[in-house]
Amino acid sequence: MSILITNVRLYGEGDPVDVLLADGEIREIGAGLSVDGAEIADGTGQFLLPGFIDLHTHLREPGREDTETIETGSAAAALGGYTAVFAMANTSPVADNAVITDHVWKRGQEVGLVDVYPVGAVTVGLEGKQLAEMGTMAAGLGAVRMFSDDGMCVYDPLIMRRALEYANSLGVLIAQHAEEPRLTKGAVAHEGPTAARLGLAGWPRAAEESIVARDALLARDAGARVHICHASTAGTVELLKWAKAQGISVTAEVTPHHLLLDDSRLETYDAVNRVNPPLREASDVTALRQALAEGVIDCVATDHAPHADQDKCCEFAAARPGMLGLETALSIIVATMVDTGLLDWRGVAQVMSENPARIVGLDDQGRPLAVGEPANVVLIDPAAEWTVEANDLASIARNTPYQAMTLPAKVTATFLRGRATARDGKIVAG
Ligand code: DOR
């Protein structure tokens, strides 16, 4: 089975070329290719990028299949241009053992739309008290390469230190949800004038920043790598700059929603805007965009967090935190980073594909668009505009903060190992 993508611009640069995908590889790149029997995908006016990799996705299987499954989450990912996602461990039961992490990997492969890499929990039950069996999970079928208690912080500095030491010896990555829990008890919104006026309990920036600073120091002493999930404040950006300048192995991600939205959204008390870490202030948004453009923040990760209607259509403080993100990520990055002149399309490939692959050490994803490379690629119409309609998304849950917004750029096809997984907004059955 081969596919010829015609008249497409690689990374949105240079003259259009034809790209032949065959046997899972990029087989040929050139002008005016003609291949007998190849299916044609017309790339006129479109850009080709390496498939996106999401280091931070919540797929809710096992336990909350009423909000998302590996199958529906994989569909959302393929439609969003992703060829690999990392499924967080805060499922029910928690993915703190190889039975669950192996299941996540196997189920993802059965569905076949995107490679679903399981994230293992750092501590048993995400309780922060006892290290999970990281070695068994790393050695399992799911070959866990990233561990995180995301949703919860590994708050105990000694446990975090031990986790970093183990991770180092196993060659895996610890991703930290940076939130000092003693500073966020009861908090539901960014601590600032908006939350004060609206009567919402505040989540101070220092709750994030104190853990970022602490973990950078712990990583330094352990000679280990640490990855900061969903960076949300200007202060975190300053700490990352400092840590990187010291030669500490720290990487960080930012979510599309923290690049677009700020706490002025809370005025309506609509709980669709409740998320952890919370939407911050406009000055934080500016700093996060700049940091992503300059490489202080390494990559974009969605923190795709599906929730049931009953957990979102309720009073703000009772709602669960989190927002959908997989199907809208590219458009939000174009709106916040490309249309503002902060990144070009090669930069988009870096922050959505190449850098995430490097951070977790994937060797078949996030590769250059070149002959002989795996055919994990995404075709994008940069001139498209579309209006988000929650009911039309592939996710089971509907908690998108972008409902009814008109957004730029659209994924028109995603290819995993040369097979189309999504085309023209529809999933292609395997
Ligand atoms: O808003 C969030 N939702 N932040 C997290 O860290 C966890 C996530 C979830 O699992 O719903």
CB atoms within 10 A of CB 176: 28
Q: What is the CATH class of 51-360?
A: alpha beta
Give the pLDDT confidence score for residue 409 in this predicted structure. Answer: 98
pLDDT at 1: 77
- Give me the mean pLDDT over the 227-231 stretch: 99
pLDDT of residue 49: 98
Does residue 27 carry a pLDDT above 90? yes
Structure tokens at 112: 């076949």
Count CB neighbours of 213 within 10 A. Answer: 18
Residue 120 and residue 95 in contact, taking contact as beta carbons nearer than 8 Å: yes
Question: pLDDT at position 121, please?
Answer: 99
Nearest CA to ligand 1 atom 1: 322
Region 3-47+373-384+404-427: CATH code: 2.30.40.10
What pLDDT, in 10s, does the model give residues 176-198? Answer: 999 999 999 999 999 999 999 99
108 vs 22, 253, 345, 362, 391, CA distance in Å?
23, 23, 29, 16, 24
Residue 89 pLDDT exceeds 80: yes
Size (the chain), residues: 430
What does the block give as tokens for 155? 């708050």
Q: Is 59 annotated as a binding residue?
A: yes
Q: Which atom of ligand 1 is nearest to the CA of 229?
A: 6
173, β-bridge pairs: 146
What is the 90 CA–ligand 1 centroid distance (Å)?
A: 9
379-387 mean pLDDT:
98
| Distance set, CA 102 to CA 86, 140, 165, 202, 255 (Å) | 13, 6, 24, 38, 27
Residue 110's CB is within 10 A of a number of other CB atoms, namely 12
Longest dimension (CA), the chain: 67
- Confidence check: pLDDT of 430 > 90: no
Rounded Cα distance between 290 and 238, Å, is: 11
Domain ranges of the chain: 3-47+373-384+404-427, 51-360
CA distance 27 to 59: 33
Interval 221-236 mean pLDDT: 98
d(Cα 293, Cα 42) in Å, to the nearest integer? 31
Average pLDDT score over residue span 130-154: 97
Q: Which residue among 275, 307, 312, 316 is best mutated to probe the pocket of ligand 1, counting the most ligand atoms within 8 A of its Cβ?
A: 275
Which tokens in the block code for residue 260?
A: 């677009």
- Measure the CA–CA gap between 275 and 279, rounded to whole angstroms: 7
Do the Cβ atoms of 59 and 66 come closer than 8 Å? no
So what's the pLDDT on residue 203?
A: 98
Q: Tell me the percentage of the chain whose pLDDT exceeds 70.
A: 100
Residue 136's Cα: distance from chain center in Å?
Answer: 25
Q: Ligand 1 centroid vs 53 CA: distance in angstroms?
A: 19
Report the mean per-residue pLDDT for the chain.
98
From 64, 320, 324, give the residue whose CB has the most ligand 1 atoms within 8 Å, as the site to mutate. 320
Alpha carbon of residue 112 to chain centroid: 19
Task: Report the C-alpha gap between 133 and 208 in whole angstroms.
Answer: 27
Return the bridge partners of 40, or none: 4
pLDDT band at 43 (very low <50, low <70, confident <90, very high): very high
pTM score, whole prediction = 0.98
pLDDT band at 429 (very low <50, low <70, confident <90, very high): confident
Q: Which residue, judged by its Cα, is nearest atom 2 of ligand 1?
A: 322
Nearest to 300 by CA among 78, 35, 103, 81: 81
Q: For residue 337, what are the CA distances in angstroms to 50, 228, 290, 347, 388?
A: 18, 21, 9, 9, 19
CB atoms under 10 Å from CB of 406, counted, come to 11
Q: What is the mean pLDDT of residues 78-84?
A: 99
- CB-defined site of ligand 1, < 6 Å: 58, 90, 150-151, 177, 275-276, 303, 305, 320-322
Cα separation, 284 vs 263, in Å, equals: 10
The reported pLDDT for the residue numbered 168 is: 96
Side chain identity at 134, as an amino acid letter?
M
Taking the centre of ligand 1 as the mean of its atom positions, its distance from the CA of residue 378, in whole angstroms, is 27
Nearest residue CA, atom 5 of ligand 1? 151
Handedness of CA 78, 75, 71, 232 (dihedral sign): positive
Q: Which of 152, 257, 131 is nearest to 207 (CA)?
A: 152
Determine contact, residues 46/8, Cβ cutoff 8 Å: yes
Distance 25 CA to ligand 1 centre (A): 36
The pLDDT value recorded for residue 191 is 98
Q: Distance from the CA of 148 to the center of ligand 1, in angstroms? A: 12
Handedness of CA 337, 340, 344, 345 (dihedral sign): positive
**Residue 284's pLDDT is what?**
99
Predicted confidence at residue 338, as pLDDT, reads 98
Give the H or E element holding residue 205. Answer: helix 205-222
What integer pLDDT is reported at residue 8 of this predicted model?
98
Q: Which atom of ligand 1 is nearest to the CA of 150?
A: 6
- The answer to whether residues 347 and 337 touch, using CB atoms and an 8 Å cutoff, is yes
**pLDDT at residue 344 tops 90:** yes
Give the nearest ligand 1 atom to 152 CA.
Answer: 6
Question: Are 298 and 343 in contact, with CB atoms under 8 Å apart?
Answer: no
